[in-house]
Chains A and B, each alone.
Chain A
Amino acid sequence: MTKYTIETKQLTKIYKDQKAVNNVNIHVKKGRIYGLLGRNGAGKTTIMKMILGLTSTSSGEVDVFGKNIKGREKQVYPRIGAIIETPGFYPNLTGTENLNIFAKLRGTSAPNAVKNALEIVGLPYKDKKLFGEYSLGMKQRLGIANAILHDPELLILDEPTNGLDPIGIAEVRDFIKKLSVERGKTILISSHILTEISLLADDIGIIDNGILLEENSMEELKRKNGKYILLQVSDAAKASLILERQFGLKSYSVKDDHTLQIYNNSLDMASVNKALILGDVSVISSQLCNDTLEDYFRKITGGDGIA
């Protein structure tokens, strides 16, 4: 079993003289949610399209399920579910009828596939409403229902919460999370909204102007960007006593005999250091982590931020 469900190698897309996607190497791990974060026009959709073979690659390779996708499209596509931009449905048919067509075209993995898919996204089965009369949110939901209709191993969702109201966004987020946590699906999702990705993704890739600026696990990013002070000292017991007595500190935790994590950032580190040294505790290092994820993204995208 390969570790990565999707791996791109030096993936590049050139439109005329502009590099829309520039040597991108993304690594989508099996069973995890990978969030592709970037502003509109950063190249997210183009990457997804190239993975799906909806647009040609200028150079570079795409491996899906551990092998190069070229020439294996017919075997691989039934194992992927995707929504890219607005899905093409017949406006004069109902949602159920539309899905029935796709079920027939692709085949199904279980009886009542259409009904189940609609249930997951919260749309009524055999409703009389025509697709043309759907609201944007309902259209989006039907798109997702279509993507999960054949119970695929891999989902590629391009801005799945576009056009949804806040409650709808939370609902969609919940069931995407569920698909990953409870059913072990691998999911590649794109968004231009930081909070969206940070609530959902296990791994994150930040893309700006076609270049992948950073790829990391959410856990690591959150660890790097929490609001706390990490203090390494010779004696944690003594240090905790000094902090409690002299600074009235309550919110901290002891990581091991030499490391304290302090959750109160307003502490004046200079006087803390001094007090510790006077108290015969040597300070090996003190590290102030004060960035929010947002600050961090602003930094790596060169000041403009994401959304």
Chain B
Amino acid sequence: MEWIYILLMALASSLMVIIYLVTKLYKVSEQLSIIEDSLVDIKKGNWNRRVLVNENDITKTICYSINDIAMKSQTQLIQLKQSEQAYKRLMTSLSHDVRTPLTSLVGYLEAVQKKFVTGKEKEEYLEIALNKAHHLKGFVEVLFDWVKLDAKEQVFKLEEQDINEFTRDILVNWIPTFEEEHFEYKIDISDKECFIRLDPNAYIRIVNNLIQNVIAHSEGTRIDLQISENEQNVMVQVSDNGKGISPNDLPHIFDRLYQSDESRSTNGNGLGLAIARELVHLHKGTIHAQNSLYGGTAFIVKLPKVL
């Protein structure tokens, strides 16, 4: 009788194995149909679609790979779209930034040409028109710089420089402007030498753009320039006692062509800070702005001592 017993046992266990396999198979086929659905969706362009799996599913690695591919394609697609949008924004913004001074320039010149103004007033109109034309020229130059920077065409040559001495040299040229614009200035730079590697032209641009920004936008009466150092970095700080920057705008001021509505179309072109940031990044440094508790804004450039 024993063999019947054994046979039954074998039968029962093989039945169990079969049931187990069938359920497993059923589960896998269910998963495959989910995968198929998702792939159809992804193929249609929904790169956000994910296939969810459990820890011990057979299809786990396949699903994870599908998700990974979808995610990476999505990221690339979004980056492309973003640069496209940025380009469009640049174009609209540019057309405004060029159009406004140009229109008013035309206004002045027409008035002169049609002899609405004469004598001294005419001279004045011509001078204003010329100033506006210079301003536009400056804008176009800055714009080309930016485009070159953006396309990474400009070549940078880093050389050892005493940043303290070098900054002082740059600032000397600014003093007449400070006086003209009625800015009190305080310069706090150590006499000690502090050599770091930088591209002189780029560094001049960074400092100039930051100061230019203070003069054009801060509405302050005082500008402080300070250089300090620690073991790893040199910090260049340009601060003012002006109106400060609204917290809503603060995260965006280094984005190219970002200008808060009020400052739009007065002075500047919204490229200065973007260029400064780009140049700082080429020195592997960081730049940020913060509002001071006592009013005004501080721009802080941090450059690494060892590049």
**A91 CB-CB contact with B under 8 Å:** no
**B44 CB-CB contact with A under 8 Å:** yes
Closest chain B CB from A250 CB (angstroms): 5
- Give the contacting residue for B110; candidates A184, A238, A251; CB below 8 A: A238
| Interface residue ranges, A against B (CB under 8 Å) | 1, 75, 78-79, 104, 106-111, 150-153, 181-186, 199, 226-228, 236-241, 244, 250-257, 263
| Interface residue ranges, B against A (CB under 8 Å) | 37, 44-55, 57, 63-64, 67-68, 71, 74-75, 77-78, 82, 96, 99-100, 102-104, 106-108, 110-111, 248, 261-266
B74 touches A150 (CB 8 A): no
User: What residues of A have a CB within 8 angstroms of the CB of B67 in the complex?
Assistant: 109-110, 151
Closest chain A CB from B20 CB (angstroms): 21
Given A1-B45, A183-B74, A237-B107: A150 in contact with B248 (beta carbons within 8 A)? no
User: What residues of A have a CB within 8 angstroms of the CB of B111 in the complex?
Assistant: 238, 241
Closest chain B CB from A81 CB (angstroms): 11
Number of A-B contacts (CB under 8 A): 109
Of listed A150, A238, A244, residue having the most chain B CB within 10 A: A238
User: What residues of A have a CB within 8 angstroms of the CB of B37 in the complex?
Assistant: 75
Closest chain A CB from B22 CB (angstroms): 22
B262 touches A153 (CB 8 A): no
Given A199-B248, A240-B104: A253 in contact with B50 (beta carbons within 8 A)? no
What are 30 A-B pairs with beta-carbon distances under 8 A? A75-B37, A79-B49, A106-B52, A107-B53, A108-B55, A109-B50, A109-B53, A109-B64, A110-B71, A111-B64, A151-B50, A151-B71, A153-B48, A153-B50, A181-B78, A183-B75, A183-B78, A186-B48, A228-B261, A237-B107, A238-B107, A238-B110, A240-B103, A241-B111, A244-B107, A250-B266, A251-B266, A253-B96, A256-B99, A257-B103
User: What residues of B have a CB within 8 angstroms of the CB of A1 in the complex?
Assistant: 44-46
Bound CA–CA A186/B264 (angstroms): 32
Given A184-B47, A199-B248, A241-B104: A78 in contact with B262 (beta carbons within 8 A)? no
Bound CA–CA A244/B44 (angstroms): 55
B103 touches A236 (CB 8 A): yes
User: What residues of B have a CB within 8 angstroms of the CB of A78 in the complex?
Assistant: 52
User: What residues of A have a CB within 8 angstroms of the CB of B99 in the complex?
Assistant: 253-256
Closest chain A CB from B38 CB (angstroms): 9
Given A110-B67, A241-B111: A251 in contact with B264 (beta carbons within 8 A)? yes
- Give the contacting residue for B48; candidates A181, A184, A252, A255; CB below 8 A: A184
A263 touches B262 (CB 8 A): yes
Minimum-distance CB pairs A-B, first 5: A241-B107, A107-B52, A237-B107, A109-B50, A240-B104
B104 touches A244 (CB 8 A): yes
B68 touches A110 (CB 8 A): yes
Q: Apart from A253-B96, A254-B100, what are 7 other A-B pairs with CB-CB below 8 Å?
A: A104-B54, A104-B55, A109-B50, A151-B67, A153-B46, A237-B103, A253-B265
Of listed A153, A184, A256, A257, residue having the most chain B CB within 10 A: A184
Closest chain A CB from B89 CB (angstroms): 12
Residue of B nearest to A255 (CB): B96
Given A1-B46, A255-B96: A237 in contact with B104 (beta carbons within 8 A)? yes
Residue of A nearest to B128 (CB): A244
Of listed A107, A185, A199, A236, residue having the most chain B CB within 10 A: A107
Of listed B52, B63, B71, B78, residue having the most chain A CB within 10 A: B52
B75 touches A182 (CB 8 A): yes
Bound CA–CA A1/B52 (angstroms): 22
A150 touches B104 (CB 8 A): no
Closest chain A CB from B111 CB (angstroms): 6
User: What residues of B have a CB within 8 angstroms of the CB of A79 in the complex?
Assistant: 49-50
User: What residues of A have a CB within 8 angstroms of the CB of B46 in the complex?
Assistant: 1, 153
B51 touches A263 (CB 8 A): no
Of listed A1, A110, A152, A257, residue having the most chain B CB within 10 A: A110
Bound CA–CA A13/B67 (angstroms): 37
Bound CA–CA A250/B267 (angstroms): 9
User: What residues of B have a CB within 8 angstroms of the CB of A152 in the complex?
Assistant: 50
A252 touches B265 (CB 8 A): yes
Closest chain A CB from B52 CB (angstroms): 3
A109 touches B52 (CB 8 A): yes
User: What residues of A have a CB within 8 angstroms of the CB of B261 in the complex?
Assistant: 226-228, 263
A253 touches B100 (CB 8 A): yes
Closest chain B CB from A94 CB (angstroms): 19
Closest chain A CB from B82 CB (angstroms): 8
A184 touches B78 (CB 8 A): yes
Closest chain B CB from A304 CB (angstroms): 25
Bound CA–CA A227/B131 (angstroms): 29
Closest chain A CB from B102 CB (angstroms): 8
Bound CA–CA A79/B52 (angstroms): 9
Bound CA–CA A80/B51 (angstroms): 12
Bound CA–CA A142/B77 (angstroms): 30
User: What residues of B have a CB within 8 angstroms of the CB of A151 in the complex?
Assistant: 50, 67, 71
A240 touches B107 (CB 8 A): yes
- Give the contacting residue for B64; candidates A110, A181, A185, A257; CB below 8 A: A110
B78 touches A109 (CB 8 A): no
User: What residues of A have a CB within 8 angstroms of the CB of B75 in the complex?
Assistant: 182-183
Given A237-B106, A238-B110, A255-B96: A108 in contact with B265 (beta carbons within 8 A)? no
Bound CA–CA A237/B108 (angstroms): 8
